Structure 1
Amino acid sequence: MNNALHGVLRPLGAALVVVSLAAGHAAAQPADREFPRAWDGDPDLNGIWQALGTAHWDIQDHPASAGPSEFGAIGAAPPGQGIVAGNEIPYQPWALEQKQRNFENRYIDDPEVKCYMPGVPRATYLPYPFQIIQGTGKIMIVYGFADANRTIHMDKANPEPAPIDSWMGRSHGRWEGDTLVVEAAGFNGQAWFDRAGNFASDALRVTERYRPLSPDALMYEATIEDPNVFTRPWTMRMPLYRRLEEHAQVLEFECVEFSEGILYDHLRRQATQ
């Protein structure tokens, strides 16, 4: 073999070895990273999940802001990137004014302060883990805050309206490929979306999408429709992450005992002279 030909084949052979090793690694990887499947072939969402970020304080882009001075840094809100697509919430003019009033009175009027159930989609991005329990005809989601939970009815060909409005509404789901799509309605109109005072009315309808990204991550999307408050539908989007601790649990946050003063002090009998 002449030197010129040997000079061509030697790097070519090295390249083939590299390609072969890379191909072998790529072929082995999907089996390790395949999203788990339930018995019926749909993605298995069972597990404990949690959102990371600052949507709990404000679902839009926001700077750091102070809280009550007596709480110092503990009461302040950290800066954060929003989860609203386009960073715009299309409020009607009156509703934008109401949102501003909500923000000004957030330490008294936010339903979270009173330990009320968080509603949908706020329950998803509170700073606590939640558990998905996936059955054949129902999927249950259990949240730690205020004993909140919801059942997603997967076995209703014709979704039924909620018999009564509630904090968590009524949810019906279906699979679109590997994405769980949930239609939620029947809300009481008292829940907020965050501590910044973003809100909706009892005409709220939420379409959620849970799309697997990897065995340990979901992309969560919630489309908000409420013609009483907004001029058009809008969407928020964020990843959810699986909690990987060996003994991860959803611990109940029985918060009502910390809210008794706000809830009931006005009912207490005043001492008489």
Structure 2
Amino acid sequence: MARSLIPTNFPLAAAIIAGLISLGSFGSAFAQPTDIPRTADGRPNFNGVWQAINTANWNIEPHAADFGPVVEMGAIGAIPAGLGIVEGDEIPYTPEARRQQQLNQADWLANDPLVKCYMPGIPRANYLPFPFQIVQSTDTIIFAYEFASASRIVYVDQPDYEAPILSWMGHNLASYEGDSLVIDVTDQMPDTWFDHAGNHHSDALRVTERYTYMGPNVIRYEATLEDPNTYTEPWRISFPLYRRLDENMQLLEFKCVEFTEELLYGDLRKQADATN
């Protein structure tokens, strides 16, 4: 039986509807120049703690609510419905890449690198259900993520700075286009996924991020993804980022390695116990 995309939980429904309204109004909701926080040199000031409110970490494409991987957890372990963040709703995979995505999704709890506390990569780090902090200076911008204490250094107006090796969070070069911060992310490890649904890429992935204020406390995040090994054409995602205005807001520690030890090594412990 097909499941409805409309959640029965009213607060969740209200949140999703609000997100849809926000996404639908992107085109006319950019902040006026006078509303934008600015640095001393006149650039948009993105310093602060930010967080996305969506279900993209489950699946960046539209999806119905579903049973979670551990049915004994009941409703709290179920997968929430989501409208998706992919423009046009569907990722333009090659046929082979779509088949791989479906295989990934069929056993995501065992295969999603994030479950094992690997670095999330870009763009996934920006829509995890964890906050992240932007620390901005003239020639570098640091993104610090609460999940796994991941981080990346963005080099501003340094186009000749080459990536020495592939890395989990990529090689990040930025420039400003008017009041938008544009970051070109390349040289990412091919092992990261975009979500629990197994959406994936190769090491040829190029992500062009764009950060634009919609108001003093809301950023429109857009990213164009290109990977000729995996997709038939470039495609885009977009969603709002909200400034965390909590009093004394700061990133807390989520060193997820300790939570993966039983998952990764539990069988070895059980074997040792059985021989003693």
Structure 1 CA distance, aligned partners of 2:212 and 2:253? Answer: 27
Question: How many aligned residue pairs are there?
Answer: 243
Structure 1 CA distance, aligned partners of 2:191 and 2:62? Answer: 23
Give yes or no for the alignment of 1:108 onto 2:110.
yes
For each residue in 1:102-133, what CA deviation from the matched residue of structure 2 results, as whole angstroms up to 9, or x when unmatched? 11111111111101110000000001110000
Output the amino acid matched with 1:116.
Answer: Y
Structure 2 CA distance, aligned partners of 1:227 and 1:82? Answer: 23
Aligned to 2:137, which of 129, 135, 138? 135
User: For residue 205 of structure 1, what is the aligned residue in structure 2?
Assistant: 206
Structure 1 CA distance, aligned partners of 2:199 and 2:96? Answer: 13
Relative distance call for 1:246 and 1:269 in structure 2 (3 A) is closer
Structure 1 CA distance, aligned partners of 2:218 and 2:161? Answer: 29
- TM-score normalised according to structure 2 size: 0.84
**Rg larger in 1 or in 2?**
1
- Of 257-266 and 95-104, the range deviating more from structure 2: 257-266
Structure 1 CA distance, aligned partners of 2:112 and 2:172? Answer: 24
User: For residue 93 of structure 1, what is the aligned residue in structure 2?
Assistant: 95
Relative distance call for 1:102 and 1:163 in structure 2 (3 A) is same
CA-CA distance at 1:269 after TM superposition: 8.9
Q: Is the 8 A contact 1:33 1:215 kept in 2?
A: no
Output the amino acid matched with 1:198.
Answer: N
Give yes or no for the alignment of 1:164 onto 2:135.
no
Q: Is the 8 A contact 2:67 2:77 kept in 1?
A: yes
Moved over 4 A (4+): 30-33, 266-269
CA-CA distance at 1:164 after TM superposition: 1.3
Describe the SS at the equivalent of 1:64.
Answer: coil
User: For residue 149 of structure 1, what is the aligned residue in structure 2?
Assistant: 151
Unaligned segments of structure 1, at least 5 residues: 1-29
Structure 2 CA distance, aligned partners of 1:170 and 1:101? Answer: 29
CA-CA distance at 1:167 after TM superposition: 1.0
- TM-score normalised according to structure 1 size: 0.85
Structure 2 CA distance, aligned partners of 1:181 and 1:55? Answer: 22
